[in-house]
Amino acid sequence: YDLIDFAGNLVCAISTDLSRLVAGVWTGAWWTSLTGASALQALPHRFKIFEGALVFTDGRFINDYDGTIARDPALTLPVGFEARWLLVWRDLLFIGGANTSGGEAEVYTWRRSLGNYESRFPIGDTEALCGFVIDVPYIITKKGEIKKYTGAGFETVQQFPTTELRLNIRFIHPNGVSVTG
């Protein structure tokens, strides 16, 4: 699902665990052996480095590892939410994804020092497909709306033709937006 270099080691998400490559040797079930926790959910696991720690998604849970302490979970989000991407902006982690029960999804913000999420912002759709930064965070919703973070929520600034046609965007990879220049 995702790869990341953390502390000079390659960490790779596999179906229900994380593997780690150290000095040319893979540890296949590295996360469960590190934490002693049960296997991860068979969902995509997306990585970010945030406040010096490796942070990753696991359904409605966010796990972290600072090189010494592993927390599984470090953050628990509401039932019915599935985290599908992470975005670091300033001193906040933005967590986006889908409402798995079909209701309105929200984007959550978090600081690792907090035991709970800091804020949550409704997005007007069932899923935020991805997030990216152009000075401030932006998201793309399943309906095709491009929304800009205002500090108090997300407002639509542009849209894909799918919005007017009342169609949904089927897929944008969570890491599939590149901002250049």
**Phi (first) and psi of residue 161, to 5 degrees:** -60, -20
Reduce the DSSP state of residue 172 to 3 states and report it: coil
Give residue 162's pLDDT band: very low, low, confident or very high (50, 70, 90).
confident
CB burial of residue 49 (10 Å; 0-12, 13-18, 19+): middle
Instruction: With cut-offs at 50, 70 and 90, classify the pLDDT of residue 27.
Output: very high
pTM over 0.85: yes
Q: What angle do CA 63, 69, 72 make, to 5 degrees?
A: 25
The band of 3, judged by pLDDT with boundaries at 50, 70 and 90, is: very high
What is the rounded average pLDDT of the residues 79-96? 98
> How many C-beta neighbours within 10 Å does residue 104 have?
11
Strand order in the sheet with 145-149: 128-134, 136-141, 145-149, 154-159
Residue 61 pLDDT: 98
Q: Across all residues in the chain, what is the average pLDDT?
A: 95
How do residues 49-70 score in pLDDT, each as one tens digit? 999 999 999 999 999 999 999 9
Asked whether residue 21 carries a pLDDT value surpassing 90, the answer given is yes
Residue pLDDT, tens place only, 99-147: 999 999 999 999 999 999 999 999 999 999 999 999 999 999 999 999 9
pLDDT average, residue stretch 12-25: 96
